[in-house]
Amino acid sequence: MSRQLDNDNPTIFAPTASATSKRVQQGKASLWASEALSDDEYDYDSASGSGEDREDIDSEEVYDLLRSITDPEHPVSLEALRVVNPDDIHVAGNRVLVYLTPTIPHCSMSTLIGLSLRVRLLRALPPRYRVDIRIKSGTHQSEHAVNKQLNDKERVQAALENKHLLSVVEGCLSTADKRGRT
Amino acid sequence: MDVPRMVRTQISTSELNPPQDLVQGVNNGSVGLLEIVKALGEYLTSTEDEVRLNGLTFLSNTLKTVNSTKINRQATQTLTNFYLSKLDDFDSLPPALGGLTVLSKLATFDDDAAVEVYKGVVENVNMKAYVQATRHLVYVLFDSLLATHRNALKSMGSSFVNSYTKMVDGEKDPRNLMLLFSIDRVILLEFEVKDHIEDFFDITFCYFPITFRPPPNDPYGITADDLKLALRKCMASSPYFARMAIPLFLEKFATLTGPSMKDLQLSIAACLPVYGADAVRERGAELWEGIKTEILYSSDTSIEAAALSALESLIRTLYPTSTDAPSGLAQDIIKECLEILNEPDKTQAVAATKILAAIFRASPSAGKFALSQALPQLFRQFNSPSVPSHRSPILSTISSLLVAVQSVYTSPTSQRKQAEEKALDPYHGGILDVLREGLRTEGLKSPAIKGCTACVQIPGFWEREDVENVVRGLDDVLVNDEDPEIRPEVIESLTTISTHHPTTIESLTLPLLFHNLPDSAPSASDHIAREKYRSILSSLRELCVAPALFQTLVIRITTKLDLLSSSTPQSNGGDEEMGEFDTRECNIAYSWDLLNTLQNVVDKKIKEKHNDLIRYFDQIVPRLFTLVVSASTTKLGDASPLFRDRRLVGIIAKLVESLVWELNVEKQSAWFSAIYQAFEKGDWTGVVHDKSVVLSGSPLRTGASSAEQDLIALYAGTVQGLKGDATLPFGSSAEFLSSKIHWTINVARDGWQVKWILELICAFVNKRENVLKDSLETILESIWSVEIQDTSKDLDNRRRGLSVYLYIIKALSLLRSPLAYSALERVIDILSLSNLDPEFVRFAASGFGILSQGKGNGHLTAKLLFAQKLWNFVLPKLIEGDKEATGTGRLVYLVAFASLLPLVPASLCLADLNTILPLILRSLSLPDPHQRVNAITTLTSILETASDSREVDKAIHAHAEVMVDSLLKSAVRSEGVASSGKVRSIALSCLSLFPDVIRFENLHKHKSIVIRELGKTLDDPLRNVRKEAVECRAKWYRYGNAT
């Protein structure tokens, strides 16, 4: 690589948020083991599909969408670099707020990472959500500039029309479907 | 027999294989071989190359086919000499070689002849001039000579070896090389090769390393690995190679990479023991350098493993016995490793650990020395680490060494025993201390558990109290640690311990676990308590499979269930917060979990063929019966007893089925007789544990309460577990069957009861087809005419009639009984009546789903290929019906088709794809989500295997657009269309296959539509569906992007 890396030796953390969910099951599933419920489904004359409990999108699900995106500088996931953390994602109603934590305060990749997150959520969340992506306060030199850039619709749109930039983003997203699995 | 004429005809028609008559003639002695030679005379000496070749080939082919005892000594000699004279004839060489090979295998072929033939070949054949096939024949002849006359060739001395190496020099074809390598190995091992070792070195090591890559679709199927293995065996055949081979290896270290490097390391591993300690010692340090690089720095784990085996081989060669002083190279290596381990958090430390473990495995003396150097240093580092985070890798290193020790001492092939070597004894205390410390400390548990497991398995290393000590530590982790990653490791460890020290687990772990199981279920909102008991149950599920521990599980679980059933249901009108569910529901779920645990353990024991299960039948089944039966009778005012719940009755019935199946025939007969008494006569004493439980009569009588009727599930469970040869307590099976059919159609209260009685009928017919044979036709006939055809009857009763009918057909079709097909024809016929009797016909069409269940998980008997036979019978009829029908009448055929789909694997559909694919595509728009799931499942497997055949590929490309449209309709929820989470998620996962399977130009127009439609699925209420949607959409975004 010709360009000097911003952070050529980032700390890589072992995954702490395990692949299994800590989410508390709702409704019937809270009481019954999954096998018991799957038996139910083949019940002789039950019309399945009628009474589906709605499972709302929560911060864990959003984190799951983001955790395995690859860092633009290193072949490591954003989860391993702690750029996104489960606690820094907030979901309320139709709004999603994601704080990202750059590995170093002068990281020029922050906007690119932010853009990747935005594209991922644009593709993976229902259109009714409004997504805000911000730098976690106090972790970057030019926090405000980056925030402004990330949440300006037109600038995001313009960025995505840049073929080269888009292909870099696609590269970062190519691992996103792993969702914490390795 | 006119031999000359026969021969003439054969030759002139160029049919060079001897006719059957001729071969027989020779074999029975009526035709002499010489006669044939005579008849061939003019051809064999012809001056025309082609004629001569034909003559010779015919002769050789005859020799190959006739009985070899018919070739006498004289004939052998004459023929040998004749063939020898042909060796210098360029065109005649291949048949001559073939003939000689046949002759060389004969008993009449002597040592002198062998030498003569060998010399003849060597002197007359110029290998370079011939093609691969001819060279191959030469090698085959050599191989045959070596196999039968090895000593004669040996006595030729150096003239043989010299000429052999010249003959085979320069061979390049892999097919020939495979043969040559095996010949080389024989010569190297058996002949005096010391003086010619350089020649042999040239003809073997020149091929190293092999970089051969087989051409695509290679018909000979020789892989690079075959060649590598054959050559490696050659290289490791003679200790004399050492002088030249080791420098060659050292030289190759610098240049080879990837698979060749792996080959090099494995070759070193194979060769060093043969080359011997003296030769290896000279260059030992240099070899270590080369091996080390690959262990410490290689990123390819397979090369690392190869290098470790090379290291083991090196150490084993240098220090083979326990009395060798571990000085020199081993000392240096160990020192190097310990230096690396001073920084245990570096990745190299892991490699150093592996090196130490390899040394231990390789040599008793060097291994013991390695432990004596490493362990004290590691203990010191662990107890006073320079950085706290170092403790975890240090403990990992210790555990890895313990695992290495354990693998050596418990391996059945190894001669080394803990009792003799006592390599670990001096560190007994130290090991125990660090492991116990590890079990107590966050972050160190995983390596500590690994170490404990290893130590427990080393025979005679730990005393009973040491084991108890460690088990206590493990129990503590099991009960108190909430980390989901650690728990399975503890369980695995405890399970291993339980095979060595069952009593320790029984007296320490099990009481603790059962103590932590509550007596009644935690309330609905108490998720933590529920998670806790689930985690304990899942631990028990693993642990109690062991015969020694199963008894405890049975006793404790049945006691808990007794307690739960007798606990009086609390009044629900309380002011307490109940959450979503009341206490009863919580208790039911808890009981279900307990029963499910028992069921899982029983299943596992059946799978592992434990024979102690039968003993527990009387402890489990009558107790469970007592619970259910007493619950069905008691009249407790408003509150309904726990074990009346159908989910519990259902799981108990399943458990009964598994356990009954395990009984032997006599016990089965006795049990079924008792059951029969209970259900038909109302005498329950034989089946319940608590004799005070009495039912007022047979649950099958008219007027029985719904709860009593639910007991039918237990009846069904018993019959399903019954084997075909168990004696029945009644005279007429047909009568029994008819009474059950009557009950199904006219008495059973609802679908749940019908489901169980149908299972009973199906199992009974399936197992008793031989007894029922004659009456079955009449029974089916009467069901059809009385219950099904009569349209004046209640629709529900007719449906039940048809279900019974189909279940009997299913039972018979599993046996491929002809009756199944003739009976089924009627069902197919009524599909055409959808205008007259729409509702019933629709039910009949989806009833084909009953047939598609196949054998299921139960104990039904199924003959081979029953599914294919049924499929091939039904499918053409459905297709035909579909063609003849018009309008909505076609729909029912489609429904029947889609319902039947799960019966057969997709590969069967592939064979006839052009007929089936259109049907599948139409099925995608059926209204019932179940049938769409079937269609999509089949479509998915078709797409997954599509690339294998050009025809399939063409078909799916032609239909790709239609498929995408239909799948999208199933994936998106829309108002008024029946849907299920299953159909949506399976449609999405099928859609996500398209970008991989279908070429972009076929679907490029659809990309934007699909992405837009998939946007809607992102808002699906079910999380699993959303997950599939996200993945699918991401794939479609990438579809067609240049990569």
The reported pLDDT for the residue numbered B571 is 47
Shared-domain flag, residues B562 and B594: yes
Phi-psi region of B830 (alpha: psi -120 to 50; beta: other; left: phi over 0): alpha
Instruction: Say if residues B184 and B203 touch (Cβ distance below 8 Å).
Output: yes
- Terminal Cα-to-Cα distance of chain B (whole angstroms): 75
The pLDDT tens digits for B239-260 are 999 999 999 999 999 888 888 9
CB pairs under 8 A between A and B: 87
Shared-domain flag, residues B649 and B535: no
Shared-domain flag, residues B921 and B1043: yes
- Candidates B949, B1033, B946; CA nearest to B998 is B946
Q: Please name the amino acid found at residue B182.
A: S
The pLDDT tens digits for B74-103 are 888 888 988 988 888 888 888 899 889 989
* Structural tokens at position A87: 């606690």
Q: How many domains does chain B have?
A: 3
Shared-domain flag, residues B514 and B639: no
Report the DSSP pairing between strands A89-92 and A95-100.
Answer: antiparallel
For residue B357, pLDDT beyond 50: yes
* Structural tokens at position B706: 């719904």
* Structural tokens at position B323: 């009395």
Highest-pLDDT range among B344-348, B627-631, B985-989: B985-989
Q: Which residues pair with A95 in a beta bridge?
A: A92, A130
In this structure, the dihedral spanned by the alpha carbons of residues B623, B626, B628 and B630, taken in order and rounded to 10 degrees, is: -160
Shared-domain flag, residues B602 and B498: yes
Helix (H) or strand (E) holding B934: helix B929-944
Fold for the domain defined by A59-178: GMP Synthetase; Chain A, domain 3 (3.30.300)
> How far lies A122's CA from each of B367, B926, B1023, in Å?
59, 33, 18
Cα–Cα distance measured from residue B56 to residue A138, given in angstroms and rounded to the nearest whole number: 94
The pLDDT tens digits for B551-596 are 999 999 999 999 988 876 554 444 444 455 678 888 888 999 999 9
Cα–Cα distance measured from residue B161 to residue B413, given in angstroms and rounded to the nearest whole number: 38
Q: In what order do the strands lie in the sheet with A95-100?
A: A89-92, A95-100, A130-135
Instruction: Say if residues B965 and B930 touch (Cβ distance below 8 Å).
Output: no
* Confidence bin at B636 (pLDDT 50/70/90): low
Q: B491-494 long-range contacts, Cβ below 8 Å, gap at least 24?
A: B491/B539, B491/B542, B491/B543, B492/B453, B492/B542, B493/B449, B493/B450, B493/B452, B493/B453, B493/B456, B494/B539, B494/B543
In chain B, pLDDT over 70 holds for what percent of residues?
97
Task: Find the DSSP H helices in B458-526.
Answer: 464-480, 486-500, 502-504, 510-515
Per-window interface: B 530-559 vs A, CB < 8 A = 530, 534
DSSP code of B577? -
Tell me whether residues B592 and A32 touch, CB distance under 8 A. Answer: yes
* Structural tokens at position B943: 């797409």
The pLDDT tens digits for B528-549 are 888 889 889 989 998 999 888 9
Residue B919 falls inside a structural domain: yes
Residue B1042 falls inside a structural domain: yes
In the block, tokens 């039910």 appear at: B843
* A51, closest residue in chain B (CA to CA): B980
Per-window interface: A 44-63 vs B, CB < 8 A = 44-45, 47-49, 52-55, 57, 61
Instruction: Say if residues B976 and B1026 touch (Cβ distance below 8 Å).
Output: no
The reported pLDDT for the residue numbered A43 is 39
Shared-domain flag, residues B558 and B673: no
Provide the shortest C-alpha distance from residue B1014 to chain A (in Å). 10
Helix (H) or strand (E) holding B632: helix B617-633
* A125, closest residue in chain B (CA to CA): B1018
Instruction: Say if residues B466 and B457 touch (Cβ distance below 8 Å).
Output: no
The pLDDT tens digits for B868-913 are 999 999 999 999 999 988 888 888 999 999 999 999 888 788 878 8
* B982, closest residue in chain A (CA to CA): A49
The reported pLDDT for the residue numbered A39 is 53
For residue B110, pLDDT beyond 80: yes
- Terminal Cα-to-Cα distance of chain A (whole angstroms): 26
Shared-domain flag, residues B592 and B670: no
* Confidence bin at A46 (pLDDT 50/70/90): very low
Helix (H) or strand (E) holding A92: strand A89-92
Instruction: Say if residues B747 and B702 touch (Cβ distance below 8 Å).
Output: yes
The reported pLDDT for the residue numbered B576 is 46
Cα–Cα distance measured from residue B911 to residue B562, given in angstroms and rounded to the nearest whole number: 56
Which of A31, A52, A125 is opposite residue B586, by nearest beta carbon?
A31
Q: Which residues pair with A98 in a beta bridge?
A: A89, A133
Shared-domain flag, residues B916 and B1033: yes
Cα–Cα distance measured from residue B654 to residue B665, given in angstroms and rounded to the nearest whole number: 19
Instruction: Say if residues B536 and B517 touch (Cβ distance below 8 Å).
Output: yes
* Confidence bin at B230 (pLDDT 50/70/90): very high
Touching check for B1031 and chain A: CB below 8 Å? yes
Which of B752, B1019, B1022 is opposite residue A52, by nearest beta carbon?
B1022
Tell me whether residues B751 and A44 touch, CB distance under 8 A. Answer: yes
> How far lies B393's CA from each of A81, B345, B397, B477, B481, in Å?
21, 6, 6, 20, 21
The reported pLDDT for the residue numbered A42 is 40
DSSP code of A77? B
Compute how many other C-beta atoms are within 10 angstroms of the C-beta atom of residue A13. 11
* Structural tokens at position B666: 């006599």
Residue B315 falls inside a structural domain: no
For residue A30, pLDDT beyond 90: no
Q: Which residues pair with A133 in a beta bridge?
A: A98
Q: Give the mean pLDDT of chain B.
A: 88
- Whole-model pTM: value is 0.76
Residue B537 falls inside a structural domain: yes
In the block, tokens 């579809």 appear at: B1039
Provide the shortest C-alpha distance from residue B480 to chain A (in Å). 17
Cα–Cα distance measured from residue B703 to residue B750, given in angstroms and rounded to the nearest whole number: 15
For residue A21, pLDDT beyond 60: no
* Confidence bin at B648 (pLDDT 50/70/90): very high
> Taking residues B220-249, what's their average pLDDT?
91
Residue A134 main-chain phi, psi, to 5 deg = -135, 155
* Structural tokens at position B382: 């662990």
Cα–Cα distance measured from residue B180 to residue B216, given in angstroms and rounded to the nearest whole number: 24
Q: Which residues pair with A89 in a beta bridge?
A: A98
Shared-domain flag, residues B542 and B649: no
Residue B684 falls inside a structural domain: yes
Task: Tell me which chain B residues have a C-beta less than 8 angstroms from the C-beta of A174.
Answer: 1038
Residue A135 main-chain phi, psi, to 5 deg = -80, 135
DSSP code of A23? P
Question: Domain limits at B493?
Answer: 484-570+579-610
Residue B196 falls inside a structural domain: no
* Confidence bin at A16 (pLDDT 50/70/90): low
Task: Tell me which chain B residues have a C-beta less than 8 angstroms from the C-beta of A20.
Answer: 484
Distance of CA B329 to the CA centre of its chain: 44
Residue B447 falls inside a structural domain: no
Three-state DSSP at B981 gives: helix
- Candidates B544, B669, B674; CA nearest to B612 is B544
Shared-domain flag, residues B553 and B636: no
Which of A44, A52, A61 is opposite residue B1021, by nearest beta carbon?
A52
* Structural tokens at position B731: 């005279």
Tell me whether residues A30 and B979 touch, CB distance under 8 A. Answer: no
**Over the range B921-954, which residues count as b (16 or more CB within 10 Å of their CB) and which as e?**
bbbbebebbbbbbbbbbbbbbbbeebeeeeebee
* Confidence bin at B346 (pLDDT 50/70/90): confident
A8-22, A85-99, B657-671, B791-805: the lowest-pLDDT one: A8-22
In chain A, pLDDT over 70 holds for what percent of residues?
76
Helix (H) or strand (E) holding B844: helix B838-846
Q: The domain that contains B1020 carries what CATH number? A: 1.25.10.10
Residue B999 falls inside a structural domain: yes
Instruction: Say if residues B375 and B451 touch (Cβ distance below 8 Å).
Output: no
> How far lies B647's CA from each of B485, B573, B949, in Å?
31, 25, 47
Q: Please name the amino acid found at residue B620.
A: I
* Confidence bin at B697 (pLDDT 50/70/90): confident
Shared-domain flag, residues B642 and B559: no
Three-state DSSP at B517 gives: coil
Mutate to test the interface with A, among B980, B1008, B1013, B1041 (most CBs of A within 10 A): B980
* Structural tokens at position A12: 């890589």
* Confidence bin at A114 (pLDDT 50/70/90): very high
Three-state DSSP at A108 gives: coil
Tell me whether residues A177 and B1030 touch, CB distance under 8 A. Answer: yes
* Confidence bin at B289 (pLDDT 50/70/90): very high
Cα–Cα distance measured from residue B934 to residue B739, given in angstroms and rounded to the nearest whole number: 35
What are the residue boundaries of the structural domains of chain A, listed by start?
Answer: 59-178
* A169, closest residue in chain B (CA to CA): B1038
Three-state DSSP at A132 gives: strand
More confident residue, B835 or B178: B178
* B1034, closest residue in chain A (CA to CA): A123
- Candidates A11, A49, A152; CA nearest to B986 is A49
The pLDDT tens digits for B733-782 are 999 999 999 999 999 988 999 999 999 999 999 999 988 888 999 999 99
Touching check for A127 and chain B: CB below 8 Å? yes
Tell me whether residues B1023 and A20 touch, CB distance under 8 A. Answer: no
